[in-house]
Amino acid sequence: MIRKIWVLLFIPVLLSILMLPAFAAEAAPEEDHWICLLCGSEADGSVCPVCSSVRGVWRCHSCRERNLSGACRSCGKQRDDSLQEQAFCGDAMYAFPAVRYLAAQGHGDALCALAGYYEKGLILPRDPEAALACTLRACETEYAPAWLMAGKIYDRGELAERDEFKAMECFLKAAESGIPEAFWYLGVFYEEGFAVTRDTAKAMEYYRLAGEAGDADSWMSIAACYALGKGVERDFTEALAYYEKAAESGSHLACDYLGYQYMSGELVEQDTEKGLDYYRKAAELGNSRSMMALAYAWMTGQGVDPDPGEAARWYELAALAGRADAAEMLAQLQH
């Protein structure tokens, strides 16, 4: 009952937020405008028109105490520290007021987070232009991940018109700050000839930089070049070595791929035990296809003694990971 009452009370608050101007949080509020730290709406005067909170009131992220001063009167946590923790706590609804406030103050990480709200239409109306504007403002703060986000926006052409040259410029900026994924994107651009002359050797150089910087999947890109003979002499032995390097570095995609190869014996000598080991590693890293493969192995006795209970466990995990076919298989097993 209490939960239902809370939801009913919050609906008008949410509707009021949705009616706010789309670009309200992109610029720092003027002195007579402020952002409510309890509901995230814009306000004038001394009281929030949406939730009736007094200007400056905030709730401590650690102990939930309401405060007006710069430090929590209950636990002593500083307001700015509390807002940072709230903004990136993982709960979009609860985080929103802090995200919007910090974005208005020009914090690059908060601007990128706010861009996500606009992109997904979460709490705020979906607004691709506002998402792009927030991202570009974050770039101006020299927040390096924003350059990667901007590059993806221009590369995908979903929130803005696709522009390979702008994307390349953004990825270069992100790479200058050492962001591993940016190196991978540069590798793709050189491999495919986007915005630059196709150069597989340079592409593989960027893939190596990405892998060495911690992007495990980038080793797979090098492996694929050897497997397909793209820019280099085709060499599956070399490709296999890079797939294994990717798996050792934590790539669930590489583990899943190697699991399939060793289970099927398609391109390597069949080794069911090794294949199942790779599937387990991939599944532990969250790969739902490997979860399905393990469930099938336990159900049919592929390399293991048949065990419907273990099969059901893996189907359930795959279903929780979003696989609709896993839910169907689980239902069949339970009947």
Question: How far is CA 105 from each of CA 66, 94, 98, 102, rounded to the nearest angstrom?
Answer: 21, 19, 11, 5
- The residues spanned by each domain of the chain are 27-105
Residue 32 CB contacts under 8 Å (≥ 6 apart), including other chains: 44, 45
26 within 8 A of 46, measured Cβ to Cβ: no
Q: What's the CA gap between 73 and 76, in Å, rounded? A: 6
Rounded to an integer, what distance in angstroms lies between the CA atom of residue 244 and that of residue 263? 15
Q: How many CB atoms lie within 10 A of CB 65?
A: 14
Which pTM was predicted?
0.81
C-alpha of 85 from chain center: 18
- CB–CB of 311/295 below 8 Å? yes
- Residue 306's pLDDT is 95
Q: What is the pLDDT along the chain (335 residues), one digit of tens a residue?
A: 333 333 333 434 343 443 344 444 445 555 678 999 999 999 998 999 999 999 999 999 999 999 999 999 999 999 999 999 999 999 999 999 999 999 999 999 999 999 999 999 999 999 999 999 999 999 999 999 999 999 999 999 999 999 999 999 999 999 999 999 999 999 999 999 999 999 999 999 999 999 999 999 999 999 999 999 988 899 999 999 999 999 999 999 999 999 999 999 998 999 999 999 999 999 999 999 999 999 999 999 999 999 999 999 999 999 999 999 999 998 888 77
**C-alpha to C-alpha distance for 132 and 297, rounded to whole angstroms:** 46
